[in-house]
Amino acid sequence: MHNNYFYHKVQLIFFTVLVALAGCNAPTTNNNNSGETSPSPTSTKSPVAAAPNTTNVNTSQLISLQGIGDVRLGMTYGELKKSLGAKATFEVKSPFMVGSDAIAVNQDGKTLYHILYPTGTSFSNSSIITNLLTENPDYRTDKGVGAGTKIADAEAAYGEATLSYNTAAESREYVKFANYKQRYIYFRPLPTTAQPFAGVYTSPPQELNKTDQFHEGAVIKSVQILCPPEVCK
């Protein structure tokens, strides 16, 4: 049986790390994990692109503070399975990433999204869904931003991008946008083929590394949503 108290304690720690990562005012620095500064031709601040098309974003594929498409934060796993019925399959991914296992929710041969929960615990029908992640490009925010969106295009929708990673948090890279104020929705960029990060950072690396420069063509890899503690107690 899933231990809700333990789960929310882990969730609170995760909130704290992400808030610290996004909110610190450390100088803009960079790391390419090689000890060398990336050459300037690889970085870009592209001209402002047209905002992503939002006309095709519907409620069944919308990323919001409430959830991803038809899955809602705060509902139980059993409720989700009942609502999706036989058209969906559920596959445990263990481990999924450091500190988290996941249940992949699949339909029509595609993974729609993952339900994340702490490694070493179980997730039963009565467990509350508090952590979601999608890499499916069909799911988009209200302004058409999601997995596969170029960071330069997302800037047109939500303002200047700031990329960051923290060596104390598994060096997971995140990108936030100046005019996107949703605290519990996080965008992770896709590292380029030749570089370990989408951002162009200066060397040597610090514990917290931030930049507004990113490699040409850099895209968003995934979108993660956490249930606010005051909602999913």
The arithmetic mean of pLDDT across residues 225-230, rounded, is 92
Between CA 181 and CA 183 the distance in angstroms is 6
Contact 154, 39 (CB under 8 A): no
Residue 43 to residues 39, 67, 144, 212, 217: CA-CA distances in angstroms? 8, 34, 24, 10, 10
Query: How far does CA 195 lie from the centroid of its chain?
Result: 19
Between CA 217 and CA 231 the distance in angstroms is 37
Q: What is the pLDDT of residues 27-83, one digit of tens each?
A: 333 333 333 333 333 455 544 444 455 446 788 899 999 999 999 999 999 999 999
Contact 186, 132 (CB under 8 A): no
User: How much of the chain, in percent, has pLDDT values that exceed 70?
Assistant: 76
Q: What is the pLDDT of residues 151-195, one digit of tens each?
A: 999 999 999 999 999 999 889 999 999 999 999 999 999 987 778
Q: What is the pTM of this model?
A: 0.78
The average confidence (pLDDT) of the chain is: 82
Phi-psi region of 20 (alpha: psi -120 to 50; beta: other; left: phi over 0): alpha
Domains in the chain (CATH in brackets) are 4-226 (2.60.460.10)
Which of the residue ranges 38-42, 192-196, 209-213, 219-223 would you say has the lowest mean pLDDT? Answer: 38-42
Contact 73, 67 (CB under 8 A): yes
Between CA 220 and CA 51 the distance in angstroms is 15
Q: What is the pLDDT of residues 15-42, one digit of tens each?
A: 444 444 444 333 333 333 333 333 333 4
